[in-house]
């Protein structure tokens, strides 16, 4: 197999000095510091094929950014190893980063006071992009990310959406083989999000760029990634196709029944009828409609519908698709055994 990214038992520990509260505690820790080792990433292994878009997800503080920072050569792993594009990031950092692009949604890598156009001129020098290729590339990025409106403005004056597009364009200028995107859609409106997703897809399809994407916006994942790796508390908890996740853990189904008369709602008692706990069944009533979310591994879809039809008069039924968000929420909360 042609693996672009190969991560083996990667581990990162941080030492933390524990301070007791107050000034007294601070003074005490100055003389006899109590150190605690925090394992941010605890033996994570996975690999990514050439040209794949991998969704790398997990709750806040799971260790996603720490993994990305090790893969991009910013942090040195405590143990384990990662090999990307045949290179070990920490061994020859300068050569390694030549072929990768990195975007951290939370902080820009551009120069605050430089006009955007000058920023790209600097990057052109840094990556030694030949003139002709540079012009072609800029035209392409301009088109895909719509940079034209603000290319002469200094970076500090850009809006968040503009800045993020600018950052992504900056990471693609040298046509990297691997693109690391750490929350590239954070805080953006739907139009910009769509624009950025389109750009990622286009780069991936046209140039076969391998992409690792971390995000909290699960529509990013649904629209871009075929496969996801999920980590929690520094450990990998899921690795597989998105469809597999839906299939294996998508027991939670949602039906919405619109009733003829709102008075009938009181007649429905799903939890009592099927003996379900609050977690496995919840209802939401709005005017004459009732929304029921239930665990389909405990109650069949058929039973659910027939019970409703027998109990009340139904005007309309809406059957919603399995929501990936729901599955992931349950996984994050450790309700689903993996």
Partner 1 sequence: MLRYLRLHRIFISQHLKRLMEYKTDFLLGAIGLLIAQALQVMFIGIIFSQIPELEGYTFDEVLFIFGFSLIPKSLDHLFTDNLWMVGYSIVRKGDFDKYLTRPINSLYYVTVERFCVDAFGEMLTGILLLSYSIPRLSMAFHWYTIPLALVVVIFATLIYTSLKTMTAAISFWTKASGHIIHMLYMTNDFSKYPVTIYNKAVQTLITYVIPFAFTAYYPASFFLTDKNPLFCIGGTVIAGTALFALALFIWNRGIRAYESAGS
Query: Which of 6, 111, 140, 332 is in the footprint of partner 1 by CB under 8 A?
Result: 111
3-state DSSP assignment of residue 79: strand
Query: Which of 1, 107, 131, 190 is in the footprint of partner 1 by CB under 8 A?
Result: 107
Q: Which is nearer to partner 1, 32 or 60 (CB)?
A: 60
3-state DSSP assignment of residue 138: helix
Query: Which of 47, 49, 118, 222 is in the footprint of partner 1 by CB under 8 A?
Result: 118
Judged by CB under 8 A, the stretch of 99-107, 203-211, 267-275, 313-321 that binds partner 1 is 99-107
Q: Which is nearer to partner 1, 108 or 162 (CB)?
A: 108
Size of the site for partner 1 (CB under 8 A): 33
Residue with tokens 């949604």: 105
Q: Do residues 228 and 54 lie in contact, with contact meaning Cβ atoms separated by under 8 Å?
A: yes
Of 123-162, binders to partner 1 (CB under 8 A) are: 125-128
Kindly state whether residue 9 participates in binding partner 1, applying the rule CB under 8 A.
Answer: no
Q: What Cα–Cα distance (Å) separates residue 227 from each residue in 46, 57, 67, 128, 246?
A: 12, 11, 17, 34, 12
Question: What would the x/- binding string for partner 1 be over residues 18 to 47, using CB under 8 A?
Answer: ------------------------------
Judged by CB under 8 A, the stretch of 117-125, 272-280, 311-319, 327-335 that binds partner 1 is 117-125
Q: Do residues 268 and 308 lie in contact, with contact meaning Cβ atoms separated by under 8 Å?
A: yes
Judged by CB under 8 A, the stretch of 2-10, 70-78, 224-232, 293-301 that binds partner 1 is 70-78
Kindly state whether residue 69 participates in binding partner 1, applying the rule CB under 8 A.
Answer: yes
Question: Residue-wise over 236-248: b if at least 16 C-beta within 10 A, else e?
Answer: bbbbeebeebeee
Report the nearest approach of partner 1 to the CB of residue 26 (Å): 15
Kindly state whether residue 178 participates in binding partner 1, applying the rule CB under 8 A.
Answer: no
Euclidean distance between CA atoms 4 and 83, whole angstroms: 8
Report the nearest approach of partner 1 to the CB of residue 104 (Å): 7
Euclidean distance between CA atoms 201 and 195, whole angstroms: 10
Please report which helix (H) or strand (E) contains residue 228, including its range.
Answer: strand 227-232
Kindly state whether residue 86 participates in binding partner 1, applying the rule CB under 8 A.
Answer: no
Neighbouring-strand partners of residue 103? 181
Kindly state whether residue 77 participates in binding partner 1, applying the rule CB under 8 A.
Answer: no
Q: Which of 218, 119, 219, 210 lies closest to 173, judged by CA?
A: 119
Handedness of CA 157, 200, 180, 217 (dihedral sign): positive
Report the nearest approach of partner 1 to the CB of residue 75 (Å): 6
Q: What would the DSSP string read from start to end of 230-262? A: EEETTEEEEEEEHHHHHHHHTTEEEEEEEES-G
Kindly state whether residue 98 participates in binding partner 1, applying the rule CB under 8 A.
Answer: yes
Judged by CB under 8 A, the stretch of 43-51, 89-97, 293-301, 319-327 that binds partner 1 is 89-97
Kindly state whether residue 76 participates in binding partner 1, applying the rule CB under 8 A.
Answer: yes
Q: What Cα–Cα distance (Å) separates residue 250 from each residue in 223, 275, 290, 292?
A: 18, 20, 21, 15
* Interacting residue ranges for partner 1, rule: CB under 8 A: 14, 61, 65-66, 69, 72-76, 90, 93-95, 97-98, 100, 102, 104, 106-107, 109, 111, 113-114, 118, 121-122, 125-128, 182
């Amino acid at each position: 197999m042609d693996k672009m990214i190969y991560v083996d038992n990667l581990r990162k520990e941080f030492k933390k000095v524990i301070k007791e509260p107050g000034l007294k505690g601070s003074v005490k820790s100055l003389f006899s510091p109590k150190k605690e080792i925090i394992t941010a990433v605890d033996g994570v292994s996975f690999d990514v094929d050439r040209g794949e878009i991998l969704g790398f997800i997990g709750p806040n503080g799971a260790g996603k950014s720490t993994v990305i920072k090790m893969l991009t050569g910013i942090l040195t792993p405590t143990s384990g190893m990662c090999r990307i594009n045949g290179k070990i990031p920490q061994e020859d950092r300068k050569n390694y980063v030549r072929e990768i692009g990195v975007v951290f949604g939370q902080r820009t890598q551009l120069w605050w006071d430089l006009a955007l156009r000058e920023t790209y001129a600097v990057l052109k020098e840094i990556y030694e992009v030949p003139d002709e290729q540079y012009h072609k590339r800029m035209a392409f990025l301009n088109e895909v990310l719509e940079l034209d409106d603000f290319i002469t403005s200094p970076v500090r004056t850009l809006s968040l959406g503009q800045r993020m597009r600018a950052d992504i364009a900056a990471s693609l200028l040298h046509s990297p083989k691997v693109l690391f995107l750490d929350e590239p859609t954070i805080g953006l409106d739907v139009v910009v999000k769509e624009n950025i997703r389109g750009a990622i897809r286009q780069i991936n399809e046209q140039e076969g760029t391998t992409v690792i994407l971390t995000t909290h916006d699960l529509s990013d994942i649904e629209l871009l990634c075929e496969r996801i790796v999920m980590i929690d508390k520094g450990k990998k908890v899921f690795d597989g196709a998105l469809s597999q996740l839906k299939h294996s853990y998508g027991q939670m189904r949602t039906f919405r029944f619109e009733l003829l008369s709102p008075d009938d709602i009181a007649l429905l008692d799903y939890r009592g009828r099927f003996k379900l706990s609050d977690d496995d069944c919840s209802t939401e009533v709005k005017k004459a409609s009732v929304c029921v979310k239930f665990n389909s591994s405990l109650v069949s879809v058929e039973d659910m519908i027939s019970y409703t039809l027998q109990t009340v008069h139904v005007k309309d039924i809406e059957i919603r698709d399995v929501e990936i968000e729901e599955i992931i929420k349950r996984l994050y909360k450790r309700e689903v055994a993996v």
